A and B are shown apart, each in its own frame.
Chain A
Amino acid sequence: EADIYQTPRYLVIGTGKKITLECSQTMGHDKMYWYQQDPGMELHLIHYSYGVNSTEKGDLSSESTVSRIRTEHFPLTLESARPSHTSQYLCASGFGGHNQPQHFGDGTRLSIL
């Protein structure tokens, strides 16, 4: 069973607030990812990381930023939340090789009022 944890699970917050979504994994995976998913839609990659001090933007443009200072930790930050940021955010991790699955956390459901 994959050990990847996201907090908070749910967050309802007002416009303009700074938000940090936490993601930690205990499997020693090099690669970590953030996806965004709206109801009934596919998962869209918004950020990924090859390893410590590596961060890249994904396919879906996002106003969020990420950091990777430690292997196990990959937080996502929104400096000023807007209603358009309302969505589910899923963190995943995996080993570096091809033909390796990604393992997901349970997600954070974010609602911006």
Chain B
Amino acid sequence: DQQVKQNSPSLSVQEGRISILNCDYTNSMFDYFLWYKKYPAEGPTFLISISSIKDKNEDGRFTVFLNKSAKHLSLHIVPSQPGDSAVYFCAASARTGFQKLVFGTGTRLLVSP
């Protein structure tokens, strides 16, 4: 049973527009959420994270929003650039136990010029 779900396998956006990537989770014990970006033939690169005590975290062009009641988070990229084209993974962890990361299946973002 997948605890972290990314229901959109792919997303296409034009350069300069906003990209919105979505992620849903089912485990109410999750309290730390991360986004990773992965280029082909490379490992995932940490992008941005958010703790459950916040509902928004911003870093440059990247903003993550957390809606705890809906168990939903989203990553906004504004403005989108062709270099943002990659697979984006959502991940979550809980404070209890080993605090392991649970990953979604990823969303492939394509930003066209």
**Chain A contacts to B: CB under 8 angstroms:** 2, 4, 6, 9, 33, 40-43, 45, 48, 56, 58-59, 90, 92, 98-99, 101-107
Surface stretch bound by A, among B11-19, B73-81, B94-102? B94-102
Per-residue CB contact flags for chain B residues 73-113 toward chain A (1 = under 8 Å, else 0) read 00000000000000001000101001111011110000000
Q: Which 10 A-B pairs have the closest CB atoms?
A: A104-B43, A101-B46, A42-B103, A43-B103, A106-B43, A42-B105, A104-B44, A99-B32, A105-B43, A106-B42
- Residues B13-45 near A (CB distance < 8 A): 31-32, 34, 36, 41-45
**Chain B contacts to A: CB under 8 angstroms:** 2, 4, 9, 31-32, 34, 36, 41-46, 49, 51, 89, 93, 95, 98-101, 103-106
Q: Which residues of B lie under 8 Å from residue A104 when comparing CB positions?
A: 36, 43-45
Given known contacts A42-B2, A98-B32, is B104 in contact with A48 (CB within 8 Å)? no
Provide 25 A-B residue pairs closer than 8 Å at the C-beta atoms, listed in order of the A residue. A4-B43, A9-B41, A33-B100, A40-B9, A40-B105, A40-B106, A41-B105, A43-B101, A43-B103, A48-B100, A58-B100, A59-B100, A90-B43, A98-B31, A98-B32, A98-B95, A99-B51, A101-B46, A101-B49, A103-B46, A104-B36, A104-B45, A105-B43, A106-B42, A106-B43
